[in-house]
Amino acid sequence: MSWQSAIDDYMNHLRLERSLAEQSVLAYASDMDKLQRFATDIGAEPETMTTEQIQEFLSSLHDLGLNPRSQARVLSSVRGFYRYLMLEEVVDSSPLELVKSPKLGRKLPDVLSLADIDAMEANIDLSRPEGLRNRAIVETLYSCGLRVSELVNLRLSDLHLNDGFIRVIGKGDKERLVPIGRKAIHDIDCYIEQRNSIGQNIAAEAENVLFLSRLGRKLTRVMVFKIIKQCASAAGITKSISPHTLRHSFATHLVEGGADLRAVQEMLGHESITTTEIYTHLDREYLRSTILMHHPRSGR
């Protein structure tokens, strides 16, 4: 099997059987392109790659200037590729069985305070046509802990505001119900009144979409990133933030408030509890900084 044929089959597997978003598939394709280029240079085929050649490939990634985190991501993609080849009985075993991933330092995500989020919302100009929409976007991201892809795909039919829940379609088309607070409900209700005034300008494919552009179309991920950065800038927040920062803040504030980690896992839509456990590290950092700031023996 040629590299291109094997990689094309793997991409179709990711799209059709694993239901990955196109953005994720493209990231896998980029990683596999690096392996294909390396293997072509040394004359290796998918079935003949050895553990030693994979280790040489990892060394080449270092030479290209990729940091350990990026190297680990590429290695994860290649592991998945060879698991797929084993499933299809193209190879009997994976050349990555004895290959260890690069050691990574645990990077804790940036988190906003409640005051930061309040400032972001307070500095939104509600006299502008998009003002109510942007306030509802910030509050929904924060109060429900949504991924940006989940936000842009929210539909009017997913809202069960009288019951205090929204229906969210997460990674792999997995569905979950997420509680929504009174402030988010209020902000969404205010926005929906304005949304309905767009009327006949709403595109047919966006009639059931909650958050719309001024042209009546579904918002893109890039547009939401711009909205969040503009809101942060208007509030005087200098740290680099994204929609995901609001998701991290949601989870961190829950853990700091004593929420059960399993409940946080369910609301975030994490498949594994180990992914959610990063927020216990954030909580410990918060406790440590509190002691250093306020304890008389802290040696300030």
Question: In the 3-class helix/strand/coil scheme, how is 112-139 assigned residue by residue?
Answer: CCHHHHHHHHHCCCCCCCCHHHHHHHHH
Same domain, 78 and 134: no
Decide which of 52, 87, 122 is a domain's last residue: 87
SS (H, E, C) 213-243: CCCCCECCHHHHHHHHHHHHHHCCCCCCCCH
pLDDT for 61 equals 86
Residue 127 to residues 58, 130, 183, 212, Cα–Cα distance (Å): 54, 8, 19, 17
Residue 105 has pLDDT above 60, yes or no: no
Q: Which residues are catalytic?
A: 147, 171, 244, 247, 270, 279
Same domain, 184 and 257: yes
Q: Would you put residue 259 in left (φ > 0), alpha (ψ -120 to 50) or beta?
A: beta
- Total domains present in the chain: 2
Decide which of 87, 122, 149 is a domain's last residue: 87
pLDDT for 70 equals 85
Residues 227-242: tens digit of each pLDDT? 999 999 999 998 888 9
Alpha-carbon distance 194 to 135, whole Å? 13
Among residues 133, 154, 129, the alpha carbon closest in space to that of 227 is found at 133
Same domain, 118 and 212: yes
pLDDT for 267 equals 85
Decide which of 47, 69, 87 is a domain's last residue: 87
Q: Is residue 245 part of a domain?
A: yes
Domain containing 60 equals 3-87
Residues 132-173: tens digit of each pLDDT? 999 999 999 999 999 999 999 999 999 999 999 999 998 888
Q: Is residue 177 part of a domain?
A: yes
